């Protein structure tokens, strides 16, 4: 896997050249005004909310035994657990106060404690999926985390901040493990096939394709080339074959999360003029992607024999929790808990003491959720078919 990792790293691409001005948002004046207002956002990895599942205050409760053989994680800074630590990038969280409430201390997680996959692992009775590099050091069959802060579905997304692993590269690393490394840990090919078919794959991706790409017109030309709906279609069309590649390697159970309301995160909500709590123009952008995601997943479940693609419905729950925080046991859904650069809109300033009541805050920094939000999110997805559908993760493991 070392050789494969080096190969992937060598293939990192620079941002594509401009391919034309296009007509941009002339037919979408509200969104056009939104883009004009939004300044170049931080080079750090962005946004959390595609994974947030809130409704009641329920803590993660460990399962008495493994409900699935493994949990594999793909995505961005929302679920990166330290993969970016050794990359030459600005998108890192390997310093305090990140990890302030995590049992393992500072790890590279972009929050004060656990991520959603950490909590899902607890609910499944599995250890936290380690960084994909862990396979180099020890045989790991309970899952791996390939997520990389700053990256997205499109290969060029976020790479102006430094090196990160796009979804394509994350999938390639999984393929390498499935072909070259994991099979030797099983007695037979049938045993290995059964293992992959029963494992859970979670995908948290697409946030940065908006925050660090589409809404960065000074660096990327996507907003000048694509209207909002065609851009969403591009993302879904790019995502689909990556999921099929995972299926072709033997994976059968997938949980793919929507993008949350990005107009509500501090870096955008505090950085643009708008009425109300959130910038609804930015929220409108991701709604197109979410509307297209569900039928795509339904079609894949129908067309790929033996598969089940579950949709993680992040957007509406997230939005409601931010607008009505008291209904979710929160007192602050607008401000970062840690002290951040530029008035609460960017990553945490190193070594400064965060707020004393992180469990009452929705946001840890200008982009990402607190531990308690991840806990609620995972619990709702695990148990509630209104959040993860057509089946909850608890039902998915029984299929």
361 catalytic? Reply is no
Annotated catalytic residue 365: yes
Rg of the chain on CA atoms, in Å: 19
CA distances from 189 to 4, 17, 177, 195, 339 (A): 22, 45, 14, 10, 51
DSSP, collapsed to helix, strand or coil, labels residue 315 as helix
Alpha-carbon distance 314 to 298, whole Å?
17
The catalytic position among 365, 371, 379, 392 is 365
* Contact between residue 244 and residue 278 where contact means Cβ atoms under 8 Å apart: no
The DSSP symbol for 121 reads: H
> Do 72 and 174 contact (CB within 8 A), yes or no?
yes
SS3 203: strand
Q: What share of the chain is helix, strand, coil (3-state, %, to 5)?
A: 45, 10, 45
Give the number of other Cβ atoms within 10 Å of residue 56's Cβ.
Answer: 12
Q: Catalytic residue among 279, 368, 374, 377, which?
A: 368
> Catalytic annotation on 242?
no
Spatial distance between the Cα atoms of 117 and 134, rounded to a whole number of angstroms? 17
Among residues 42, 45, 76, 77, which one is catalytic?
77
- The set of catalytic residues is 77, 365, 368
């Amino acid at each position: 896997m070392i050789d494969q990792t080096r190969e992937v790293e060598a293939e990192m691409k620079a941002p594509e050249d401009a391919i034309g001005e296009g007509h941009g948002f002339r037919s979408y004046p509200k969104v056009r005004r939104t883009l004009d207002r939004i300044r170049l956002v931080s080079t750090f990895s962005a946004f959390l909310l595609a994974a947030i599942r809130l409704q009641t205050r329920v803590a993660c409760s460990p399962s008495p035994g493994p409900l699935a053989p493994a949990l594999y994680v793909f995505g961005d800074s929302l679920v990166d657990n330290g993969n970016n630590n050794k990359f030459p990038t600005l998108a890192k969280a390997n310093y305090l106060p990140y990890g302030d409430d995590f049992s393992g201390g500072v790890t590279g997680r972009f929050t004060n404690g656990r991520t959603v996959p950490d909590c899902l692992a607890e609910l499944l009775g599995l250890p936290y999926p380690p960084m994909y590099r862990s396979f180099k050091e020890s045989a790991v069959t309970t899952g791996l985390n390939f997520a990389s802060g700053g990256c997205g579905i499109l290969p060029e997304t976020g790479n102006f901040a430094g090196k990160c692993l796009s979804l394509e590269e994350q999938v390639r690393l999984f393929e390498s493990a499935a072909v070259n490394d994991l099979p030797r840990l099983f007695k037979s090919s049938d045993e290995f096939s059964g293992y992959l078919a029963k494992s859970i794959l979670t995908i948290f991706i697409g946030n940065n394709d908006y925050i660090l790409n589409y809404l960065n017109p000074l660096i990327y030309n996507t907003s000048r080339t694509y209207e909002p709906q065609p851009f969403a279609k591009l993302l879904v069309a790019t995502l689909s074959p990556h999921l099929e590649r995972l299926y072709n390697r033997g994976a059968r159970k997938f949980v793919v999360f929507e993008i949350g309301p990005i107009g509500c995160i501090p870096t955008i909500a505090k950085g643009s003029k708008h009425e109300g709590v959130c910038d609804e123009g930015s929220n409108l952008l991701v709604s197109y992607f979410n509307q297209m995601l569900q039928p795509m997943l339904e079609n894949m479940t129908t067309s790929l024999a033996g598969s089940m693609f579950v949709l993680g419905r992040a957007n509406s729950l997230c939005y409601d929790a931010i607008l009505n925080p008291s209904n979710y046991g929160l007192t602050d859904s607008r401000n970062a808990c840690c002290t951040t650069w530029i008035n609460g809109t960017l990553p945490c300033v190193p070594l400064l003491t965060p707020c004393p009541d992180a469990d009452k805050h929705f946001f840890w920094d200008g982009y990402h959720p607190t531990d308690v939000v991840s806990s609620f999110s995972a619990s709702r997805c695990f148990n509630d078919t209104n959040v993860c559908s057509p089946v909850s993760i608890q039902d998915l493991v029984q299929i």
